[in-house]
Amino acid sequence: MPELDNAAIARELEVMGDLLEIAGADRFRVLSYRKAANSIRAWPEQLSVMAEADRLTEVPGVGKKLAASIAEMLHHGTFPELEAAKTEYPAGLVELTQVAGVGPTRARQFYEKLGVDSVDALLHALDSGEIVRVGGMGEKTVANIRHGVESYLAHRGRMLLMDALPLAERLAGELLEHPAVLSATPAGSLRRMQETIGDIDIITVSEDTPAVMEAVRSLPAVARVLGSGETKTSVLTTSGLQVDVRVVAPDQAGAALQYFTGSKEHNVHLREIAKRAGMKVNEYGVFRVAEDGTEVERVGGATENEVYEVLGFAQTPPPEIRHDTGEIEAALAGDLPRLLELADIRGDLHAHTTSTDAHSTLAENRAMAADLGYEYLVVTDHAENLRMVRGMTVPELEEQWAEVDELNDSRGDLPYILKGVELNIGSDGTVDYDPGVLARFDFCIASLHSGWGEEGAAVTARLLRAMENPYVDIIGHPTGRIIGRRDPIALDMDAVLTKAAETGTIMELNAYPDRLDLRDTHLRLAMRHGVRVAIGTDAHRSEHMRYMRYGVATARRGWVTHDLCLNAQPLDVVRSWLRRASEYPPTDHQA
Ligand code: DGT
Ligand code: CA
Ligand code: CA
Ligand code: ZN
């Protein structure tokens, strides 16, 4: 039995939860699988290792019974309850529920009335018009579902970075343990930290090619070998992701890493530059070429820096920005800014607690913040108007503030807690609570929790109105997208960022790995507007605070620099940047 990694285990538990929901099972049972899956995806240790030591119940949300199911899964690839659930409804229905606009009830109806058991079958039912045989399907609903299917299909086969990155790092680590492997480095979209990953590419350096290919084929997480040649082996892992591992000789290491990191657009431009300089660049190295195109001599390729250097670059562009959107020109001239780094981050600016819909306490969040080496963290529970999670009433806030004061008073070397909140932007652009209450927070995030599918201009106007409120310091997850599941709100981003610059409102980069919102392209625009950015994980359990790395990666992709990132600043500067600080210090980064 090949070994299941954490993402694969989490996925099976999610399937279980979805199947139970489709079958109309008890809500509590459904949630217990989802909660466990959510916590396993964020868990830093391999469950396969923990299972051997009988330590699975240490994972939050994993009780004795679930631990037994996971142990069973690790041995047999599945567990009895899952198999039973799959006999009731086909697992293909789970895919259906991933489509925006199709919940568990609709999925069951589509299956029972039309025999639809996959997204492809649903598309077919939409095309043939058969879909209307299911009751309650008006024109608008049908159009919504078609749109949902289209965006689902655009992402199908791709995995979130959060699921691919830990796996890739682990595989690279395992390969490195082999004595013949000199180095093993993830390349491709993963090294560029793209938000979704098609397949994992790993470049290994070795003098003993056959030994490395054999090592790849025998990695524990390999479910199937798709192909294995002299220098490349492709495998399918237990989490369903394809991994391409290539072996190159030490003097080609840099050229191979550069080539297979891409992006394709970046590489195409690089080859043009080489050509103009009478050179050629490929996965084997950089070569000087004669008029007729024949190679004359090899001029570099052992390290990636060398590849760029011999092509006349003053700097090596960081992988995250290699998309041929200006990084080549800037790197040639030595004009690249120093991008934000994880080590710059001094705190998390968005985290929930058990006071509303999250699973960790304030003290647990603080312990995690201390683990992460932070100076400060915030509590930003949901506000009153968000009824579905029973947002904080004023008396509840007062209780929380007292707890914060107490934790801060006795904190010693532990991180300082700021009193925040996540307000809801109402349909008229107003937010929760009276100004008197708003003034008592250290800072406020305000988020849209509705507006998808609405006219972009109307939602933009709502957001602009909220940004005029002097108590709104930060706009949370501005476009509200969920990668592959919910389209972004059609905001006029230029208008939003202009208003942010005008009012000193800070824009959030929500680091929760299926949000990453603002996204890279918007962040780049924010930098041009001189708009400051706050990175928050939106943690709903303290382990989620580790997702900061995805936020920083997205920030880097958006060319975000240290000097425009709120939580790269020490606490006193953080306070001075908030709108409620009497002055709005002007920034000198206006484009
Ligand atoms: P993915 O896997 O869809 O998430 O995206 P990538 O970028 O990892 O794409 P992949 O795995 O097909 O190829 C890895 C890298 O190899 C790619 O970023 C650039 C390089 N590469 C692949 N095919 C070509 C090509 O035809 N031309 C050039 N210039 N580079 C290529
Ligand atoms: Ca790839
Ligand atoms: Ca590939
Ligand atoms: Zn939140």
Q: Which amino acid is at 409?
A: D
Q: What was the pLDDT predicted at 432?
A: 95
pLDDT in tens, 121-137: 999 999 999 998 888 88
Ligand showing the shortest atom-to-Cα distance for residue 282: 1
Q: What was the pLDDT predicted at 377?
A: 97
**Mean of per-residue pLDDT scores for the chain:** 93
Nearest CA to ligand 1 atom 3: 198
Q: Is the CB of 234 under 6 A from ligand 1?
A: no
Average pLDDT over residues 433-449: 95
CA distances from 430 to 78, 356, 435, 470, 472 (A): 49, 21, 11, 12, 10
**3-state class (DSSP) for residue 326:** coil
- Report percent pLDDT > 90 for the chain: 83
**What atom in ligand 1 is closest to the CA of residue 190?**
8
pLDDT at 584 over 50: no
Average pLDDT over residues 67-88: 92
Q: Is the CB of 189 under 6 A from ligand 1?
A: yes
To 5 degrees, how large is the angle CA 114–CA 115–CA 118? Answer: 110
C-alpha 265 – ligand 2 centre gap (Å): 14
Nearest CA to ligand 1 atom 8: 188
What is the rounded distance in angstroms from the CA atom of residue 224 to the CA atom of residue 446? 47
Q: What was the pLDDT predicted at 591?
A: 33
**What atom in ligand 1 is closest to the CA of residue 271?**
29
What is the rounded distance in angstroms from the CA atom of residue 500 to the CA atom of residue 494? 10
Please state at what angle helix 6-22 crosses helix 80-88, rounded to 10 degrees: 40
**What atom in ligand 1 is closest to the CA of residue 196?**
4
The percent of the chain in helix, strand and coil, each rounded to the nearest 5, is 45, 15, 35
pLDDT at 586 over 50: no
**What atom in ligand 1 is closest to the CA of residue 244?**
11
Nearest CA to ligand 1 atom 9: 188
Q: What was the pLDDT predicted at 175?
A: 98
> Hey, what long-range contacts does 43-52 have (CB within 8 A, 24 or more apart)?
43/6, 43/543, 44/543, 44/546, 46/5, 46/6, 46/170, 47/4, 47/6, 47/9, 47/74, 48/3, 48/4, 48/5, 48/74, 48/220
CA distances from 422 to 97, 123, 394, 473, 534 (A): 28, 38, 14, 11, 14
Q: Is the CB of 265 under 6 A from ligand 1?
A: no
- Out of 189, 234, 283, mutate this one to test ligand 1's pocket (max ligand atoms within 8 Å of CB): namely 189
Q: Which domains does the chain have, with CATH numbers?
A: 6-155 (1.10.150.110), 159-245 (3.30.460.10), 254-333 (3.30.210.10), 342-583 (3.20.20.140)
Per the CB < 8 A criterion, the answer to whether 500 and 529 are in contact is yes
Q: At residue 295, what are phi and psi to the nearest 5 degrees?
A: -65, 135
Per the CB < 8 A criterion, the answer to whether 281 and 232 are in contact is no
Per the CB < 8 A criterion, the answer to whether 234 and 160 are in contact is no
- Pair of tokens at residue 154: 């655009």
CA distances from 307 to 189, 331, 421 (A): 19, 13, 48
Exposed / middle / buried, residue 290 (Cβ in 10 Å: 0-12, 13-18, 19+): exposed
Other CB atoms within a 10 A radius of the CB of residue 103 amount to 13
Nearest CA to ligand 1 atom 27: 264
pLDDT at 474 over 60: yes
Other CB atoms within a 10 A radius of the CB of residue 6 amount to 24
Average pLDDT over residues 248-267: 98
pLDDT at 144 over 60: yes
Q: Is the CB of 199 under 6 A from ligand 1?
A: yes
Q: What was the pLDDT predicted at 588?
A: 43
User: How does DSSP assign 193-258, residue by residue?
Assistant: T-SEES-EEEEEE-S-HHHHHHHHHT-TTEEEEEEE-SSEEEEEETTS-EEEEEEE-GGGHHHHHH
- Out of 267, 304, 322, mutate this one to test ligand 1's pocket (max ligand atoms within 8 Å of CB): namely 267
Exposed / middle / buried, residue 115 (Cβ in 10 Å: 0-12, 13-18, 19+): exposed
**Segment among 14-28, 314-328, 395-409 with least mean pLDDT:** 14-28
Report CA 94 to chain centroid distance, whole Å: 22
Q: At residue 233, what are phi and psi to the nearest 5 degrees?
A: -125, 130
What is the rounded distance in angstroms from the CA atom of residue 145 to the CA atom of residue 134? 13
Report H helices in 334-474. 362-371, 394-409, 435-438, 456-467
Regarding predicted confidence, which is higher, 586 or 488? 488
pLDDT at 258 over 70: yes
Q: What was the pLDDT predicted at 390?
A: 84
Q: At residue 79, what are phi and psi to the nearest 5 degrees?
A: -140, 155
Q: What was the pLDDT predicted at 203?
A: 98
pTM tops 0.75, yes or no: yes
pLDDT at 451 over 90: no
pLDDT in tens, 343-402: 999 999 999 999 998 999 999 999 999 999 999 999 999 999 887 778 999 999 999 999
**Segment among 33-42, 146-155, 299-308 with least mean pLDDT:** 146-155
Average pLDDT over residues 233-245: 94
Q: What was the pLDDT predicted at 582?
A: 56
pLDDT in tens, 516-529: 999 999 999 999 99
Nearest CA to ligand 1 atom 17: 262
**What atom in ligand 1 is closest to the CA of residue 192?**
7
pLDDT at 257 over 50: yes
Q: Which amino acid is at 260?
A: F
Q: What was the pLDDT predicted at 585?
A: 43
Q: At residue 418, what are phi and psi to the nearest 5 degrees?
A: -95, 145
pLDDT at 329 over 90: yes
Ligand showing the shortest atom-to-Cα distance for residue 189: 1
Report H helices in 58-138. 64-76, 80-88, 92-97, 104-114, 119-128
Average pLDDT over residues 311-340: 98
Q: What was the pLDDT predicted at 181?
A: 98
pLDDT in tens, 182-234: 999 999 999 999 999 999 999 999 999 999 999 999 999 999 999 999 999 99
What is the rounded distance in angstroms from the CA atom of residue 164 to the CA atom of residue 200? 7
The residue with tokens 């400060």 is: 376
- Out of 159, 201, 241, 322, mutate this one to test ligand 1's pocket (max ligand atoms within 8 Å of CB): namely 201
C-alpha 267 – ligand 2 centre gap (Å): 14
The residue with tokens 């229905």 is: 93
- Pair of tokens at residue 573: 């500067």
**What atom in ligand 1 is closest to the CA of residue 267?**
29
Regarding predicted confidence, which is higher, 451 or 448? 448
Nearest CA to ligand 1 atom 23: 264
Q: Is the CB of 197 under 6 A from ligand 1?
A: yes
Nearest CA to ligand 1 atom 24: 264
What is the rounded distance in angstroms from the CA atom of residue 43 to the CA atom of residue 60? 9
